[in-house]
Amino acid sequence: MKTGFELFIARKYLTARRKQAFISVITFVSILGVTIGVMALVIALSLITGFQEDVQEKILGATSHLMVSDLSGEGLRGYEELAARIEALPEVQAVTPVVYNTVLITGPARSAGALLKGMDFNRERQVADWLKQLPAGNLPPEDETPLLVLGKALAATLGVSVGETVSVLIPAAHLTPVGLWPKMKTFKICGLFDSGLYEFDSSTALVSLSLAQKIFNLPSRVSYLQVRIKDIFQAGQLADRIQQMTGPGIYITTWMELNRSLFSALKLEKTLLFLTIALIVVVAALNIIASLVLLVMEKTRDIGILIAMGATARQIKKVFFWQGATIGLVGTFIGLSLGLFWCWLANTFELIKLPVDIYQIAFVPFRPRLFDLAMIVLATLAITFLSTLYPSRRAAKIDPVMALKYE
């Protein structure tokens, strides 16, 4: 027997015309099942990965990776010195101060609650892409001029645009002849921003840092420092280092803590999708077992002749292993190709649209990752290879005498 004849015989058995067409049908269904399973896995995991990365990108684009705040709630004092110390760390990309509070904004038609944030726009626009190019208007100067930048969705809710004025009710009360009274201030809208995150755009208004410090009575203080880092997955380690550096009285929150429930749910959904859709491959593996068992029954005489000519039990096992493995390899390759083609098609033409106010993104992005594809291929091949064990062992146990006696 020549080396490699097992693969030759396996290929012949796969391509030869059957005495019973039923076996050919089961073989075709097996390949189809593996193809559909792999294709579904590629599409599903690419969808979850794309959705997760896109939402994460938008959330981190509009917020900070780390938030350094004061435990007393009175605001950070000496924040410039603290920001300089944190910014000196090699992992840190930028540190920007923020002052914020909730307000009620009233437009010509309606009112809406919002988060009024004071920022240093010169620093912030260096790291925040959504501030570099506004859909309308411009950022305010770094002074106390009452100018406001609204989120695009918030402006639509209030029914206002650039150049119009709005009234802002500020919770900090001041003393009047009739007692304590909330502050009311008129702002002119100088610009609109669009971060791509609907929840942020529909509930946020921006002013200069100095103006926010005056409005909320925080002279020389800020609510917190926004820290952007080069590697977002080192946020936890860097938070511990900053905590040791700053000592007690300072509280540090990471982006993972702020969005833990969302990303934990997406990760769990990805795992459950993989396990659920992998059942399609398991069903296909059962078809492989059925087709190989039927083939062993049909080729009993051929197997007997091979054994009589000197083929070992190991070589007979290899014949049917290669047959099942070929089904798995062909189905995996076709499924992988079709899945990647669909991802390209869906991304290119934005086939699946989503309501932005619910999902934060306009369409479903498909982003296949090499690790996910490797896991799909390995899991599929492992299942299909294991499905060949029983039929190949059964073929190797055939008695050549009995096989040739009863044709």
pLDDT digits (tens, 9 = 90+) for 353-367: 888 766 767 788 999
How, if at all, do strands 224-229 and 66-70 pair? antiparallel
**Amino acid letter for position 268:** L
Residue 173 has pLDDT above 70, yes or no: no
Residue 378 has pLDDT above 90, yes or no: yes
**Considering only CA atoms, which of 344, 325, 315 is closest in space to residue 382?**
325
Residue 206 has pLDDT above 80, yes or no: yes
Residues 129 and 212 in one domain: yes
Does residue 256 lie within any of the structural domains?
no
**Considering only CA atoms, which of 200, 213, 188 is closest in space to residue 153?**
200
Q: What per-residue confidence (pLDDT) applies to 363?
A: 85
**What phi, psi does 166 have (nearest 5°)?**
-135, 155
DSSP class of residue 249?
T
* 183-206 average pLDDT score: 91
Residues 54 and 84 in one domain: no
Instruction: List all residues 6 or more positions away from 139 whose beta carbon is below 8 Å from its beta carbon.
Output: 121, 125, 131, 149, 190, 191, 206
Does residue 253 lie within any of the structural domains?
no
DSSP class of residue 91?
T
Residues 44 and 150 in one domain: no
Q: Which tens digits make up the pLDDT trace of 115-138?
A: 999 999 999 998 888 999 899 999
Q: What per-residue confidence (pLDDT) applies to 353?
A: 87
Residues 278 and 394 in one domain: yes
- If 0-12 CB within 10 Å is exposed, 13-18 middle and 19+ buried, where does residue 214 land? middle
Looking at the DSSP bridge assignments, the partners of residue 307 are none
Q: Which tens digits make up the pLDDT trace of 58-86?
A: 888 787 899 999 988 788 999 999 999 99
- State the pLDDT confidence band at 19, using cuts at 50, 70 and 90: low
Residues 123 and 237 in one domain: yes
Residues 109 and 54 in one domain: no
Average pLDDT, the chain: 88
Residues 172 and 78 in one domain: yes
Number of alpha carbons in the 13 Å side-chain half-sphere of residue 60: 21
Answer for the pair 82, 68: CB distance below 8 angstroms, yes or no: yes
Residue 287 in tokens: 């078809």
Answer for the pair 252, 82: CB distance below 8 angstroms, yes or no: no
**What phi, psi does 144 have (nearest 5°)?**
-100, 20
DSSP class of residue 78?
S
Residue 288 in tokens: 């492989």
Q: Among 184, 216, 248, give the residue marking a domain's end.
A: 248
Does residue 64 lie within any of the structural domains?
no
Residue 23 has pLDDT above 50, yes or no: yes
Does residue 65 lie within any of the structural domains?
no
Does residue 192 lie within any of the structural domains?
yes
* Residue 17 or residue 404, greater confidence: 404
* 8-35 average pLDDT score: 79
**What phi, psi does 184 have (nearest 5°)?**
-125, 125
Distance of CA 277 to the CA centre of its chain: 18
Q: What per-residue confidence (pLDDT) applies to 2?
A: 47
Does residue 257 lie within any of the structural domains?
no
Cβ count near 145 (within 10 Å): 14
* Counted domains in the chain: 2
Cβ count near 243 (within 10 Å): 14
Q: How far is CA 149 from CA 157, 167, 214, 265, 354, in A?
A: 14, 13, 17, 33, 27
Three-state SS at 351:
coil
- State the pLDDT confidence band at 197, using cuts at 50, 70 and 90: confident
Q: What per-residue confidence (pLDDT) applies to 406?
A: 55
- State the pLDDT confidence band at 171, using cuts at 50, 70 and 90: confident
Answer for the pair 9, 392: CB distance below 8 angstroms, yes or no: no
* 282-293 average pLDDT score: 90
Three-state SS at 392:
helix
Alpha-carbon distance of 249 to 247, in angstroms, equals 7
Residues 190 and 228 in one domain: yes
Residues 53 and 175 in one domain: no
DSSP class of residue 353?
B
Q: Among 203, 222, 248, give the residue marking a domain's end.
A: 248
Residues 231 and 379 in one domain: no
Alpha-carbon distance of 341 to 251, in angstroms, equals 47
Residues 12 and 125 in one domain: no
Q: Which domain does 308 fall in, by range?
A: 5-59+262-405
- State the pLDDT confidence band at 178, using cuts at 50, 70 and 90: low
Instruction: List all residues 6 or more positions away from 208 whose beta carbon is below 8 Å from its beta carbon.
Output: 118, 119, 120, 121, 140, 141, 142, 143, 144, 145, 147
Residues 215 and 82 in one domain: yes
Q: What per-residue confidence (pLDDT) applies to 120?
A: 93
Three-state SS at 200:
helix
Alpha-carbon distance of 294 to 300, in angstroms, equals 10
Residue 181 has pLDDT above 70, yes or no: no
Does residue 184 lie within any of the structural domains?
yes
Does residue 203 lie within any of the structural domains?
yes
Helix (H) or strand (E) holding 252: strand 250-254
Q: Among 248, 273, 294, give the residue marking a domain's end.
A: 248
